Amino acid sequence: AQTVTQSQPEMSVQEAETVTLSCTYDTSENNYYLFWYKQPPSRQMILVIRQEAYKQQNATENRFSVNFQKAAKSFSLKISDSQLGDTAMYFCAFMKSSGSARQLTFGSGTQLTVLP
Amino acid sequence: DSGVTQTPKHLITATGQRVTLRCSPRSGDLSVYWYQQSLDQGLQFLIQYYNGEERAKGNILERFSAQQFPDLHSELNLSSLELGDSALYFCASSVVGARSEAFFGQGTRLTVV
């Protein structure tokens, strides 16, 4: 079974600054996907970024990037130039890449508040 | 808009009752997943269907059941409801393949009183 741990229940950052959210996971799988999802006050779950474990290159999506350390089983999210609209709960998630059972295992989430 | 549609958005019901939550996946997605988000348990996987067949089961109570119909929409049935079943229930869908990210519906907020 997989576990995902987010050790920062809450974080805050000033607008335009950079913030990093931490995530560690435990698995015996060699091939898998990792995701960051964002849940704003509207409660909608929005995919922010994904990373394939077989890729050494860290994924980036505009202001969002990850630091994927496979050996350390670490997957942090960096948000650059933080905006007020980034205020949300952020969830790290794991998914196996083999077979057709593709459920997500989520961490407990980090509530990020961007301060004006 | 993720393309995944869940109805109803809100549901208030009494203990002991039965409710049905409905999900229409994105066009072309064969997999449907149900998740429960509660304050004390976080986001938990309940069950996955793929093209009408059950593919994976998580922490789903025996009082809960689901199915996926030939048109690929899915229903989650919750019976003998208890106060602790109050939660946000999400449906997600995906294409099983190289790009497997799940897209979530807006959720159904269930309140059991």
pLDDT digits (tens, 9 = 90+) for A32-47: 999 999 999 999 999 9
A116–chain B Cβ distance below 8 A for any pair:
no
pLDDT surpassing 70 at residue B99: no
A chain contacts of residue B100, beta-carbon cutoff 8 Å? 33, 95, 97, 102
Q: Which of B47, B34, B37 is nearest to B4 (CA)?
A: B34
CB contact under 8 Å between B55 and A101, yes or no, is yes
Query: Where does the pLDDT of residue B86 fall: very low under 50, low under 70, confident under 90, or very high at 90 and above?
Result: very high
Q: What is the pLDDT of residue B24?
A: 97
CB contact under 8 Å between A44 and B56, yes or no, is no
Cβ B66 vs Cβ B34: under 8 Å: yes
pLDDT surpassing 80 at residue B50: yes
A98–chain B Cβ distance below 8 A for any pair:
no
For residues A68 and A85, give the distance between their C-alpha atoms in angstroms, rounded to a whole number: 25
Mean pLDDT of chain A: 94
B chain contacts of residue A108, beta-carbon cutoff 8 Å? 42
Mean pLDDT, to the nearest integer, of B26-36?
A: 93
Query: Where does the pLDDT of residue A66 fall: very low under 50, low under 70, confident under 90, or very high at 90 and above?
Result: very high
Cβ A67 vs Cβ A56: under 8 Å: no
A102 forms beta bridges with none
pLDDT surpassing 70 at residue A87: yes
Q: Provide, rounded to the nearest whole percent, the portion of chain B with pLDDT above 90.
A: 84
B chain contacts of residue A42, beta-carbon cutoff 8 Å? 106
Q: What is the pLDDT of residue A97?
A: 82
A chain contacts of residue B96, beta-carbon cutoff 8 Å? 100, 102
Going by C-beta distance under 8 Å and a sequence separation of 6 or more, which residues neighbour residue A32? A53, A94, A95, A96, A97
Torsion over CA: B51, B53, B58, B61 (sign): positive
pLDDT surpassing 90 at residue B97: no
pLDDT surpassing 90 at residue A56: no
Q: How far is A100 from chain B (nearest CA, A)?
A: 6
Q: What is the pLDDT of residue B98?
A: 53
Going by C-beta distance under 8 Å and a sequence separation of 6 or more, which residues neighbour residue B62? none
What is the SS3 assignment for B74?
strand
Q: Provide, rounded to the nearest whole percent, the portion of chain A with pLDDT above 70.
A: 100
